[in-house]
Amino acid sequence: MDISHSFITEDIFDILFQNLSYEDKINFSQINAFTYNTYYHRIRSTIHNSLLTDYRLFKMCFQRFTYREEEIQRMGVTAVKGIGTVWDISERGYYDLRFLFELIYRGLNIDEDIIQNTKYSNLPIIMKKIKQCISFTRSETIHKVNNEVMLYSLHTLFTPIVQNIKNKNKSIIQGTWEKI
């Protein structure tokens, strides 16, 4: 690509892009038509990589991009199959419902496909309770969630100390707990 009469190969752009933060990747993709066409879909698809691992990035992707119903359904199946556990200070375990909350808030259809893929018999009941809390605004929805005992891990005052990551090892939560 020719920028100000200097030629830069696509490999260099890829290296630059990989080392940027999410926000910087978005800005980088908007430099010109080449970067937009090359990197926009990569940024949009980061939601699949962040599912069950990086709630903050997952939420930011939903705020920026629109996803089709089929994509949300596929992410829903993945989310119920790999739902994590978080523990509070009294060592009680709870499902990490934040990813499911975002998917249900964005229109996840809790159908047979979702229910068949869950390992836990009480998870469909919890998902239906989240669906019942959905209101006309996000703040109203969060208020309703805070009034549901079953959805304690989504409450504003819930702060876990330990979480279960993909390899089933407990790890201390680093930094702050990203709330819904």
| Identity at 175, one-letter amino acid code | G
**Contact between 155 and 146 (Cβ < 8 Å):** yes
Dist CA 87 CA 98 (whole Å): 14
**Contact between 108 and 114 (Cβ < 8 Å):** yes
Rounded mean pLDDT of 58-72?
94
> Which tokens sit at 54?
């990086």
> Residue 9: what pLDDT?
80
> Residue 48: what pLDDT?
92
Dist CA 3 CA 146 (whole Å): 52
Higher pLDDT, residue 8 or 17: 17
* Average pLDDT in the chain: 87
Higher pLDDT, residue 165 or 128: 128
